[in-house]
Structure 1
Amino acid sequence: MRPDLSIHDVMPETLDRVDEQLALIDRHCPGPVTLLVVPGRPWSDNDLGRLRDWVGRGHRLAGHGWNHRARCIRGIRHRLHSLLVSRDCAEHLALDRSDIIALMSRNRRWFEEHDLPAPALYVPPAWALGPVRTADLRPTGFTRVETMSGYLDVASGTFRRSALVGFEAASAWQVPVLKASNALNRLLARRWPLRVALHPDDHRLPLAGDLEATLKRCGP
C-alpha cells in the first residue's frame, strides 16, 4: 500500500526544490503528493501558477501555518520544543486559542481568494497544534488536521493514528535520532498507515540516501 506522501514548507523560495522532490517521487513512487502551503509569503502570479499546475497534475494542497515563524518563544514547553524539534517554526505555540483559529481561518480563505482549491487538510508547522480543542477547529472549514501522531477528523472528533518517517537532518545530532525514529515508525507501520514527510532540502541533506531508499520501497 502506498503511504501518504507530503512535502512541507511549500513557499515561493522553496518551489524549485519542491519541483526536484516531485520529480524524485515520480521516478520511484509515482502518485499524488500533499503539498503543505505557507500562504503568508510574497507569492507572485508565477508562483501561484506553479501551484495550479501541480494541482492539475493530481497533487493536493494543504494549509500549513501563515508565515511559518513563531512571533516569540512562549513558555518552557515552547522553548524545549524549539530546541529539540522546531527551531522557530512552531507558529501555533506562540498563540492563544482565538489567534490559532483566526490564523487557520485566514489560511483557508487565502486559497479561495487566489483561485486555488480550498484544502480539507491542515498541518500546523512542526505538527504543533497548540492549545485548541476539536470543537474550536470546526469554524475554520478544515475537515482534517494532521499532528505528529496521526489525523484528527474535525467533524466527529475521532483520531486515526499513523506512523511517520522524515528526513530533515540539518544537524549532525539529528541523523542518529531520525534514523532511530524512522526505524521505530517502520515497525509501527505494520499496524498503522504510514506517512512519509519531506521538507524541501531533504534530498540534499545527510539522509538523502535513506529518503530515496524509502521511496523505492513505496513504489510499484
Structure 2
Amino acid sequence: MRNSDPKRLLVSIHDVGPGFADPVERLADQLENRLGGPAYAMLVVPDHWNAHPLKRGTAFATRLREWADRGVEMFVHGWFHKDSAEHTGVAALKARHMTASEGEFLGLSEAEAARRMADGRKLVEDVTGRDVAGFIAPAWLYGPGALVALRTSGFRLAEDHWRVWQPASGRIVSRSPVITWASRSTMRTASSLAVAAAARHTFHPLRDVRVAVHPGDVTKPSLLASIDATVAAFAERRRPARYRELLDDR
C-alpha cells in the first residue's frame, strides 16, 4: 500500500494522436496497471508531421474524449511536432543534438507560435470537451518567439526538461528533471536505460518525479521493461498525481 508521503509522481504520454493510436493504447494500459488508474497526462499533437490530423468524430477522437472523461489530463503538444525552421547558434546545436527534427517551437516567430498554440488548444478542447491542462512544446524546446507567445497564451502550465511553470507569471511550481527513454538508436537506448536505472535509486529525495514515455518506446522490450520498473519503483514510495495539483502549491 502506498504511504501518505506528500512526494508526487507525475507521468505523461507524449506524441498522442491518431498516427500512434495502438502504441498510445498500450502505454496507457501499462501505466494504469502500475498507477492504479488514469493518474497521468497525455500530450496531444493535432497533426503529427502533417500526416496524422486529429479530426472530430473519428474513432481516435472518441477514444481521446473517453480518456479525458476518466480523468486523464490533456496538454497541447505543438501542432505538427516537426521542426522545419533553419537554425543558427545555440538553437542549431539544440536542434541537432537534442532532437531529430522534432523541436517545432524552437524557431517559430511569436505570431506563428501564438497561432499554433491557440489553434491546438481549440481543437483539443473541442475534441475532449474539457479544458486543457497546459502547453508543452515538442522535445521540450522553446525558442524566444514561443516563450513570448506562451506568456499571453492563457495556458495555466508549461513544462521543459527541468521545471514546470505558470506561463503568465513565470512562477515555477516544480523543479525536477524528466526521466524519459530513447528508441532512435542502440546507443541512445542504452544511455536512457542507464539513466532510468540510476534515477530509480537517486531521485527519491525529490519532491516531484516526472516520467515521460513516447510511442516509440513500445518498439523495444527493454524500454517497456525499464518504464515498468521505473514507474513501479516510484509509485511505491510516492503518490501518483496530476499536474493541476501543482497550481495549489504555495
Q: TM-score, normalised by structure 2?
A: 0.79
Cα deviation, 1:162-208, whole Å, max 9, x if unaligned, reads 23111223211213432454356553451341001000121332422
Q: Paired residue for 1:146, among 159, 172, 179?
A: 159
Residues 1:93 and 2:106 aligned together: yes
Q: Paired residue for 1:10, among 16, 25, 31?
A: 16
Match runs of 1:54-93 below 5 Å: 54-93=67-106
* Distance in 2 separating the partners of 1:6 and 1:18: 11
Match runs of 1:80-159 below 5 Å: 80-114=93-127, 116-132=129-145, 136-159=149-172
* Distance in 2 separating the partners of 1:182 and 1:58: 27
Q: What amino acid sits opposite 1:84 in the alignment?
A: H
1:115 to partner: Cα distance = 5.1
* Distance in 2 separating the partners of 1:115 and 1:59: 10
- Name the counterpart of 1:30: 36
Is contact 1:163–1:193 with CA below 8 Å preserved after alignment? no
Is contact 1:162–1:189 with CA below 8 Å preserved after alignment? no
Q: What amino acid sits opposite 1:178 in the alignment?
A: S
Q: What amino acid sits opposite 2:179 in the alignment?
A: V
* Distance in 2 separating the partners of 1:189 and 1:156: 29
Going from structure 1 to structure 2, the CA distance change for 1:215 and 1:101 (only over 3 Å counts) comes to: same
* Distance in 1 separating the partners of 2:69 and 2:125: 16
Going from structure 1 to structure 2, the CA distance change for 1:188 and 1:113 (only over 3 Å counts) comes to: same
Query: Aligned residues, how many?
Result: 220
* Distance in 2 separating the partners of 1:94 and 1:133: 8
Going from structure 1 to structure 2, the CA distance change for 1:42 and 1:135 (only over 3 Å counts) comes to: closer
* Distance in 1 separating the partners of 2:142 and 2:204: 23
Partner SS for 1:86:
coil
| Unpaired segments ≥5 residues, structure 1 | none
* Distance in 1 separating the partners of 2:89 and 2:148: 26
Going from structure 1 to structure 2, the CA distance change for 1:134 and 1:171 (only over 3 Å counts) comes to: closer
Partner SS for 2:15:
strand
* Distance in 1 separating the partners of 2:213 and 2:164: 17
Percentage of pairs with the same residue: 28
Is contact 1:163–1:192 with CA below 8 Å preserved after alignment? no
Is contact 2:103–2:139 with CA below 8 Å preserved after alignment? yes
Q: What amino acid sits opposite 1:59 in the alignment?
A: V
Residues 1:195 and 2:195 aligned together: no
Partner SS for 1:218:
helix
1:132 to partner: Cα distance = 4.2
* Distance in 2 separating the partners of 1:119 and 1:215: 24
* Distance in 2 separating the partners of 1:71 and 1:37: 19
Cα deviation, 1:60-81, whole Å, max 9, x if unaligned, reads 1100000111123322433322
- Cα RMSD (Å) of the superposition? 2.2
| Unpaired segments ≥5 residues, structure 2 | 1-6, 237-250
Partner SS for 1:55:
helix
Q: What amino acid sits opposite 1:165 in the alignment?
A: I
Structure with bigger RCO (C-alpha 8 Å, 6+ apart): 2
- Name the counterpart of 2:53: 42
